[in-house]
Structure 1
Amino acid sequence: MMRQISCLVAFCLVSIITASSVTAAALDGASDYGNKESEIGFATVAVNVVEGTFEADHRIINVSDQVFQKEIIETNSVSTTQIVFLDETVLTMGPETRLILDELVFDRNATEGKVVMTALKGLFTFVSGSLPSESYQINTPTTIIGMRGTKFDLFVARNGASTVILRSGAIDVKNLQGVERQVNTVDLATNVVTKKSEPTLPAPPTSELEQLFTSLVNPGELQGIDPLQVNTKRESIETESIRKKQIQLKNEEANDLKRQKAEQPNSQRIKKLEERRQKKEERAKKREAKKKKKAEKKALRKAKKENKALKIAKKEEKKAAKEAKKTEKLASKEAKKATKKATKEAKQAAKKATKEA
């Protein structure tokens, strides 16, 4: 609260001395950097080296320096800054952080406006200003954040993975595919690991991640610290944070799949059961048809075999009948021959007997 009050006081003071500040900047040779129309706020804190890039121009940002629309603000591993915008939005940037001030539309006499920023990497704290909540949009490489409250912290890893921690009010976080997650509970965080992964369920952030944000609360503690030590510490925390996010994401996907199966309407379950029953019946019919066809083939082979045996039997019977007829004919011929011989012999005997008598 004290920080916001001090920022507002500083804002009023800087608004009064804007003309003299611009004149001083001109004397320093920086009059070509930005223009009056694109001024959207000023720096209230600048610890160590804070850089600004506007189009092709670069500069070092000091306390009370104006910032401009489309300007890129960067901090190194041991620097922080705080900026108060025309609508009284307060942005705090931690070490090794990069942000683009895309757009700020503000009219003190109007109720509408627009604030758009792109957080490319690093640590941020956003406190919304006097515009309606729907006026604010914070982009990252993997998320789009809508503010429906007062304050949130943001951590954007080097690979674009984003963690949003709600501090007061409420926020809407969605991935680049449009899948949205609302966070309504203070001090809970949601993560978006990749452009396509869904925002995770709200959960408390890791203690290691919370430690990184201490530099935003107490920026003076960075004075005299070795940049290499800060980089090593942050890289270790960032790697561990990403690993935990990926595990959490996999667990949530598995739980969602189980929940979807459990929450399927009865009609769908009945439909699936009916489909299974029909498939089972179809398989049974196919097996029965196959079995019947096999039996028919077997019966056909048996009939063919029996028919062949019958033909052979008939052929043998016909052959036997022919042989019998031949034998009978031969026997009849022999009998006739014998009868004829006997008759001839009888006649000869009778003739001889008559002759002897």
Structure 2
Amino acid sequence: MPMRSKLLVLAAVIAALAPAKHAFAQERAGVASAVTQTARGQVGGGSMRTIRIGKSVFSGERITTDARGRVQVLLADGSNFVVGPNSSLVIDEFVYRPEQGAGKIVATFGRGVARYVGGRISKNRGGVTIRTRQGTIGVRGGMANLVQRGDDTVFSFLFGKDLTFTGRNGREMRVYRSGFSVFASGGQGRVGRTPANLQNLVTRQLTGTGGAGPRPNAEQLRRFGFANSALPPAPGSPIPPPVIISRGVPVPGNRLDRNFANGSRIGYPPTPGCVSPLYC
């Protein structure tokens, strides 16, 4: 084939691939159902945009907030992510087949504070994967809080079927009773009771007015036409005992808040068996 013809064929292939790549990058994952103060999104190397209530959030879009920002992202299966101040989250992949109630959610939690509330996809084992610096977590049929400060991470199970954590060391642990958390540092974790002051901290961080803009209209919500199925268990449901793989260590009442308030690690002597002085 002459060189000119080869160049024309190559140019045609590049032209055909470019729109496909753009369409993939702009695949919609959900809608911003609440925004407070400043939350921004960025897809790949594109420009930053301000996330506004009722607007779409795309797969691969990095959501970041400032010191006062909060955003809630509603997905088509009824799942939602709440991202607190000074935080970042990417919804890497969202696939949903409503006729089967099946699909897949893959997200990356970078830093700060966030909450995941499960929808229909979360009812399937392995349907939800959240990547973090310390490892990956899965949430089945429930809700979990995520806290990342420096090298220390806490995943708190609120309700549902279970929360699993696989550390960078390959060790897996499972929590299926509310009030327990995985405390992770250095790519490994331990399971212990969730400190009350940590719950209060997350509640303060995630509480907001919901934004000053208008609420999503009926048409916007109709396109996400499945009500959130992540409801608490019925009263009186039996709660199995927690699965604690590592020995739990009591957490003093005021140490966690003091460290977070100062934004630094204070040099407390570690309790024997603790993963990190920050959470011991």
TM-score by length of 2: 0.66
Q: Deviation digits for residues 308-355 of structure 1, max 9, x if unmatched?
A: xxxxxxxxxxxxxxxxxxxxxxxxxxxxxxxxxxxxxxxxxxxxxxxx
1:1-357 → structure 2 map (5 Å cutoff): 38-55=27-44, 56-131=46-121, 132-159=124-151, 161-169=152-160, 170-195=162-187, 198-205=188-195, 207=197, 209-220=198-209, 235-236=260-261, 239=264, 247=270, 250-251=272-273
Give the CA RMSD over aligned residues.
2.9
2-structure distance, mates of 1:237, 1:164: 21
More helix by percentage? 1
Once the 2 structures are TM-superposed, how far is the Cα of residue 252 of structure 1 from its aligned partner? Answer: 5.3
Conserved? CA contact 1:162–1:191, under 8 Å: yes
Higher relative contact order (CA 8 A, sep 6+): 2
Once the 2 structures are TM-superposed, how far is the Cα of residue 36 of structure 1 from its aligned partner? Answer: 9.5
2-structure distance, mates of 1:221, 1:84: 13
Conserved? CA contact 2:28–2:57, under 8 Å: yes
SS of match in other structure, 2:93: strand
- For residue 98 of structure 2, what is the amino acid of its counterpart? R
SS of match in other structure, 2:85: coil
Once the 2 structures are TM-superposed, how far is the Cα of residue 237 of structure 1 from its aligned partner? Answer: 5.8
Conserved? CA contact 1:116–1:137, under 8 Å: yes
Conserved? CA contact 1:34–1:54, under 8 Å: no
- For residue 165 of structure 2, what is the amino acid of its counterpart? V
- For residue 273 of structure 2, what is the amino acid of its counterpart? N
More strand by percentage? 2
Structure 1 unaligned segments of length 5 or more: list them: 1-32, 224-231, 254-357
- For residue 117 of structure 1, what is the amino acid of its counterpart? A
Once the 2 structures are TM-superposed, how far is the Cα of residue 174 of structure 1 from its aligned partner? Answer: 1.9
2-structure distance, mates of 1:128, 1:236: 30
- For residue 213 of structure 1, what is the amino acid of its counterpart? V
- For residue 138 of structure 1, what is the amino acid of its counterpart? I
Once the 2 structures are TM-superposed, how far is the Cα of residue 123 of structure 1 from its aligned partner? Answer: 0.5
SS of match in other structure, 1:95: coil
Once the 2 structures are TM-superposed, how far is the Cα of residue 147 of structure 1 from its aligned partner? Answer: 1.2
2-structure distance, mates of 1:135, 1:243: 40
Q: Which has the larger radius of gyration?
A: 1
Once the 2 structures are TM-superposed, how far is the Cα of residue 149 of structure 1 from its aligned partner? Answer: 3.1
Conserved? CA contact 1:143–1:162, under 8 Å: no
The change in CA–CA distance for 1:58 and 1:203 in structure 2 (over 3 A counts) is same
1-structure distance, mates of 2:199, 2:107: 23
The change in CA–CA distance for 1:36 and 1:143 in structure 2 (over 3 A counts) is closer
1-structure distance, mates of 2:55, 2:172: 37
Structure 2 unaligned segments of length 5 or more: list them: 1-21, 213-256, 276-280
Once the 2 structures are TM-superposed, how far is the Cα of residue 239 of structure 1 from its aligned partner? Answer: 3.8
Conserved? CA contact 1:48–1:79, under 8 Å: yes
Once the 2 structures are TM-superposed, how far is the Cα of residue 221 of structure 1 from its aligned partner? Answer: 9.7
Aligned residue pairs total 206
The change in CA–CA distance for 1:165 and 1:64 in structure 2 (over 3 A counts) is same
1-structure distance, mates of 2:267, 2:23: 41
2-structure distance, mates of 1:40, 1:222: 21
- For residue 167 of structure 1, what is the amino acid of its counterpart? L
Once the 2 structures are TM-superposed, how far is the Cα of residue 192 of structure 1 from its aligned partner? Answer: 0.6
Identity of aligned residues (%): 20
TM-score by length of 1: 0.52
Once the 2 structures are TM-superposed, how far is the Cα of residue 204 of structure 1 from its aligned partner? Answer: 2.3
Once the 2 structures are TM-superposed, how far is the Cα of residue 182 of structure 1 from its aligned partner? Answer: 1.1
SS of match in other structure, 1:211: helix
Once the 2 structures are TM-superposed, how far is the Cα of residue 217 of structure 1 from its aligned partner? Answer: 4.8
